[in-house]
Amino acid sequence: MTKLAGDHVRILVGGYELTGDSNRLSIDDKRMMFDVTAFGDGVHKFIPGQRMMAVQHAGFLNSESARSHPVLSGNSVDDVFSVYLGQNADPTDGDPVFSLLTQQTRYGTMPQFNKFIPFNTAFANRGDCGGWGIALAVPTSFTNTANGSAMDNGGASNDGGMAFLHILTAAPSDTYTFTVEGSATGAFSGEESVLATFPLDGSALGSDGQTISGAIPQYTRWKATRSGSAGDTVQIAVSLIRY
């Protein structure tokens, strides 16, 4: 059995952070293989990369916000769901992260006048692979160009995987191109390969997932370029899942 204990939990859905709205989070997999402890009060079992994954998220809605939440107010959310587990005050490079492409399947509230409104919603895997990966950047600010640090995150794989990226903060006037790169040596001096590319517009914060086919080298990093002011703040979170 493999156990992952997290002192810090960060929940991201479709580019929104739900961490402050959460009072309960559970992840269930019908195929049980690995024990993973997130909050210290429960152990869950997983097979990385398998389907049939469902996530329940509970928290509070403020009645002054028209009984809505910017990402959970509708009946259907079709986007990326990620949970980062950190051993420090904030997640760092190399921390475990659970990401998958999901659809929101259930949403409900119990309105109470002038009180916080509890809500319950579930996310189910929409059929694409996902699972436990490793964080490449969580989150990072940069100017017009930037490279994430090279990471030795395990042996090379020939079975592909997925890369997930969230934009959390961005300037509406800016556009971005994020890439995830791999290197067999870790030099990143021209021998690296591009594993995934994310072209995104700062006017719409969001998330994206890209399938990686073929080999994923031993070393990985993210890099980014953007058009716009170098003084504009942008925050991203990137995770990589190997199959």
Q: Are residues 115 and 148 in the same domain?
A: no
Q: Are residues 51 and 104 in the same domain?
A: yes
Question: Using one digit for the tens of pLDDT, what is the confidence trace for 116-151?
Answer: 566 667 777 776 667 778 888 888 888 889 998 898
Domain-terminating residue out of 96, 115, 131: 131
Q: Are residues 116 and 140 in the same domain?
A: no
Instruction: Using the predicted structure, report yes or no on whether residue 165 has a pLDDT greater than 60.
Output: yes
Query: How many degrees, rounded to 5, is the angle at CA 22 between CA 21 and CA 23?
Result: 130
Q: Are residues 22 and 127 in the same domain?
A: yes
Which amino acid, one-letter code, is at 82? S
Cβ of 106: how many Cβ atoms within 10 Å? 12
Q: What is the pLDDT of residue 83?
A: 82
Instruction: Read off the pLDDT of each residue in 211-235 and give the average, rounded to a whole number.
Output: 89
Q: Is residue 191 part of a domain?
A: yes
Instruction: Read off the pLDDT of each residue in 148-174 and give the average, rounded to a whole number.
Output: 86
Task: Spell out the residues 6+ positions from residue 187 whose beta carbon is closer than 8 angstroms to its own.
Answer: none
Q: Are residues 116 and 13 in the same domain?
A: yes
Categorize the per-residue pLDDT at 171 as very low, low, confident or very high, splitting at 50, 70 and 90: confident
Instruction: Read off the pLDDT of each residue in 206-216 and give the average, rounded to a whole number.
Output: 90
Q: Are residues 59 and 78 in the same domain?
A: yes
Question: Using one digit for the tens of pLDDT, what is the confidence trace for 3-20?
Answer: 445 567 788 887 777 776
Report the percentage of the chain scoring pLDDT > 90. 17
Q: Are residues 84 and 190 in the same domain?
A: no
State pTM to two decimals: 0.79
CATH of the domain at 191: 2.60.120.1110
Domain-terminating residue out of 131, 165, 185: 131
Q: Are residues 141 and 192 in the same domain?
A: yes
Report the percentage of the chain scoring pLDDT > 70. 62
Q: What is the pLDDT of residue 50?
A: 46
Which of 36-45, 62-71, 92-101, 202-211 is modeled with the greatest confidence? 202-211
Question: Using one digit for the tens of pLDDT, what is the confidence trace for 56-107?
Answer: 666 666 555 544 566 666 556 778 888 887 766 667 788 878 888 887 765 6
Q: Is residue 1 part of a domain?
A: no
Q: What is the pLDDT of residue 155?
A: 75
Instruction: Using the predicted structure, report yes or no on whether residue 39 has a pLDDT greater than 60.
Output: no
Q: Are residues 94 and 173 in the same domain?
A: no
Which amino acid, one-letter code, is at 106? R
More confident residue, 3 or 240: 240
Q: Are residues 215 and 183 in the same domain?
A: yes
Instruction: Give residue 143's domain range.
Output: 136-242
Q: Is residue 125 part of a domain?
A: yes
Instruction: Using the predicted structure, report yes or no on whether residue 51 has a pLDDT greater than 70.
Output: no
Distance CA 52, CA 103 (A): 12
Instruction: Give Cα separations from 206 to 9, 39, 64, 162 (angstroms).
Output: 20, 26, 25, 17
Domain-terminating residue out of 131, 153, 188: 131
Name residue, tokens 């997932």.
209
Helix (H) / strand (E) element for 10: namely strand 8-13
CATH of the domain at 76: 2.40.30
Q: Are residues 109 and 14 in the same domain?
A: yes
Work out how many domains the chain is built from and give that number: 2
Instruction: Using the predicted structure, report yes or no on whether residue 241 has a pLDDT greater than 80.
Output: yes
Distance CA 167, CA 122 (A): 22
Instruction: Using the predicted structure, report yes or no on whether residue 49 has a pLDDT greater than 60.
Output: no
Which amino acid, one-letter code, is at 185? T
Q: Are residues 195 and 108 in the same domain?
A: no
Q: Is residue 65 part of a domain?
A: yes
Distance CA 184, CA 197 (A): 19
Question: Which of 208, 179, 195, 224 lies closest to 101 in space, CA to CA?
Answer: 208
Q: Is residue 3 part of a domain?
A: no
DSSP collapsed to 3 states, 58-122:
EEEEEHHHCCCCCCCCCCCCEEEEEEEEECCCCCCCCCEEEEEEEEEEEEEECCCCCCEEEEEEE
